[in-house]
Amino acid sequence: PRFTVGLTGGIGSGKSTVAELFAARGVTIVDTDQIAHSLTAPGGAAMADIVSQFGPEYADATGALDRARMRQLVFADAAAKTRLEAILHPRIRAATEAATAAATGCYVMLAIPLLVESGSWRARVTRVLAVDCAETVQLARVMARNHLPEAQVRAIMAAQATRQQRLDAADDVITNDAGLDALTPQIERLHQLYLTFSTGMAP
């Protein structure tokens, strides 16, 4: 099996920013959110099952998932959420495995926002890297980027794992409280460590 790093972190912690910096060093990034999105895009591999189980009104005019309608349903109906997950999760896992097997980078980093929340991912990665930042910083970033009121961002954060739960689950932590300059030395150090692990020459 390949050496794979699971990259996780709360909303707005800086996962995408960190992933780009690893990608610039030749690491293959596999983004499970992007995979989930493509499965429910027009013609996506999950759309036929979604339409047959939930009804044609859950596809929009382009054939993509009507995200707003589905969000409303699964928010109110736990059984519907389970049914949707039963359609999506096996396909996300299969596509992630295929992308990992096809990767040409020096090692693979799987971006998994909910790695800590959805336990089944942990066994599928060799090592967990958490991006950590103060909750006040997270709040400010997401409010600015998504133009959301504080209460709404707090509600999203409250539904995610806590900062401490993520730190407990992590093998490695990148602190992303400060500017981008502070990221480079942390990424450089971990990249060297991961290169060593991935060539099977762990110190």
Stretch that binds ligand ATP, among 6-14, 61-69, 88-96, 191-199 (CB under 6 A): 6-14
Backbone phi, psi, residue 77, to 5°: -140, 100
16 binds ligand ATP (CB under 6 A): yes
Toward ligand ATP, which CB reaches closer, 134 or 180?
Answer: 180
Q: Is 13 annotated as a binding residue?
A: yes
Looking at residues 163 to 182 of the shown chain, list those that interact with ligand ATP (rule: CB under 6 A): 176, 179-180
Number of residues that bind ligand ATP (CB under 6 A): 15
Convert residues 102-121 into a mask of x (bound to ligand ATP by CB under 6 A) and - (unbound): -----------x--------
**Which of 4, 12, 32, 194 lies at the binding interface for ligand ATP (CB under 6 A)?**
12
d(CA 66, CA 63): 9
Q: Are 28 and 104 in contact (CB under 8 A)?
A: yes
| DSSP-derived pairing of the beta strands 28-31 and 108-111 | parallel
Toward ligand ATP, which CB reaches closer, 16 or 38?
Answer: 16
145 binds ligand ATP (CB under 6 A): yes
14 binds ligand ATP (CB under 6 A): yes
Q: Is 184 annotated as a binding residue?
A: no
**Which of 39, 92, 125, 141 lies at the binding interface for ligand ATP (CB under 6 A)?**
141
Q: What residues make contact with ligand ATP under the rule CB under 6 A?
A: 9, 11-17, 113, 141, 145, 176, 179-180, 183
